[in-house]
Structure 1
Amino acid sequence: MGGIDLLGIPVPDAGPVFLVALAVHIVAGVTCVAFGAVSALSAKGGVWHVRSGRVYLCGLGAVFASMAVLSGIRWRENAHLFAIGCLAFTSALTGYLNRRLRPLLHIAGMGTSYIALLTGFYVDNGATLPVWDRLPGWSYWVLPSLLGLPLIARAIWRRRPVKTTTS
């Protein structure tokens, strides 16, 4: 199969359905990165947090659906990306469904989904990106977690319920 070059990133030419799914995937992925960051950095429970979180979740649904199409067309090359996508979407749904009753699970789920989203991107594209192309392949799998997990732990620590003692 031949390929095309998209801003320096090689893209397999796997037919028109693949290219349409890839276009949806890219737009949805960029949306997720932007709105996920806005939600994470905004006041919890505030308008920006809630709205950007909803956009993130919808975008991740589009990333998941397009990823399923892309993986179905090129399963041998993309099975590992399918697994990462399943983790990202499952984590986000877990976080979303626990937003009110279990806020710490909400933080963990949404944060983990963002890490998985970035991990999938770097695993698939890291070797073609400036700076990342100098790193060993294993780092694409590990660096998003090394950077993201401490941030999730900090957010959980700050939101944990403080138990008071009564005398």
Structure 2
Amino acid sequence: MDLLGIHIPATSPVFLSFLTVHVLAGMTAVVVGAGAALVRHKGRGLHTRFGGMYFGSICVVFATATAMAAMRPREDYHLFLIGAVAFAAALTGRTARRRHWSGDMAHIVGMGGSYVAMLTAFYVDNGPQLPLWDRLPTLAYWLLPAAVGAPLTWRAVRRAQRLRGPATASDRGPQAA
């Protein structure tokens, strides 16, 4: 079945229900994740609200990806694995903030890595059907999100370090004896 030029891999009403929720949660995660990253002030307020909505959206994306992969394991197991990485990275980023881990690196890298994994899954699954992306080799779907996201995440880490001031010994981790 095709919908707006996108191939829908199954027509089962249960699969389509999960897919609908998955797509809506994925679109929400893209928008609020970008919003959380782009908000200038990273303290409580808009950044925290967007971050909470992003985490909730990623939870739904992972849950629905898990259900769809269970229905079509041979076709979707790789998407389940990428979803697990996105969820685990977001959980790490959220835990780092909630448990007040020293520094900002775990939070930024966790959330940034989650966003990159989510986009990777999208392009791996849909790239061959998207204008311009359909001209790229398959490897590009796997690598381009990280090629763009990794430098942006690193930049965010460096900015947070500059704003925080000089690192303390505990920020650098265990010291060699």
Unpaired runs of 5+ in structure 2? Answer: 168-177
Q: 1:28: Cα distance to partner?
A: 0.2
Q: Secondary structure at the match of 1:89?
A: helix
Q: CA RMSD in A?
A: 1.4
Matches of 1:7 and 1:80 in 2, distance apart? Answer: 24
Q: 1:156: Cα distance to partner?
A: 0.5
Identity of aligned pairs, percent? Answer: 48
Q: Does 1:54 align with 2:52?
A: yes
Matches of 1:56 and 1:162 in 2, distance apart? Answer: 28
Q: 1:46: Cα distance to partner?
A: 4.0
Counterpart residue number, 1:110? 111
Matches of 1:69 and 1:87 in 2, distance apart? Answer: 16
Counterpart residue number, 2:64? 66
Measured against aligned partners, the alpha-carbon deviations of 1:28-83 in whole angstroms (never above 9, x if no partner) come to: 00000000000000021141100011000001100000000110001001111111
Q: 1:101: Cα distance to partner?
A: 2.2
Measured against aligned partners, the alpha-carbon deviations of 1:115-163 in whole angstroms (never above 9, x if no partner) come to: 0000000000000001101111100000000000000001101112532
Q: Does 1:136 align with 2:134?
A: no
Q: 1:105: Cα distance to partner?
A: 0.4
Q: 1:108: Cα distance to partner?
A: 0.3
Matches of 2:53 and 2:13 in 1, distance apart? Answer: 27
Given that 1:14 and 1:73 are in contact with CA atoms closer than 8 Å, whether structure 2 keeps it comes out as no
Report runs of 4+ in structure 1 exceeding 3 Å deviation: none
Counterpart residue number, 1:162? 165
Specify the code of the residue in structure 1 equivalent to 2:146: S
State the TM-score, normalizing by the size of structure 2: 0.88
The number of residues matched between the two structures is: 162
Counterpart residue number, 1:101? 101
Specify the code of the residue in structure 1 equivalent to 2:35: V
State the TM-score, normalizing by the size of structure 1: 0.93
Measured against aligned partners, the alpha-carbon deviations of 1:73-115 in whole angstroms (never above 9, x if no partner) come to: 0100111111100000000000000013242100000000000
Q: Does 1:24 align with 2:27?
A: no
Counterpart residue number, 1:81? 79
Specify the code of the residue in structure 2 equivalent to 1:38: G
Q: 1:14: Cα distance to partner?
A: 4.4
Matches of 1:5 and 1:125 in 2, distance apart? Answer: 12
Of 3, 8, 31 in structure 1, the residue corresponding to residue 5 of structure 2 is: 8
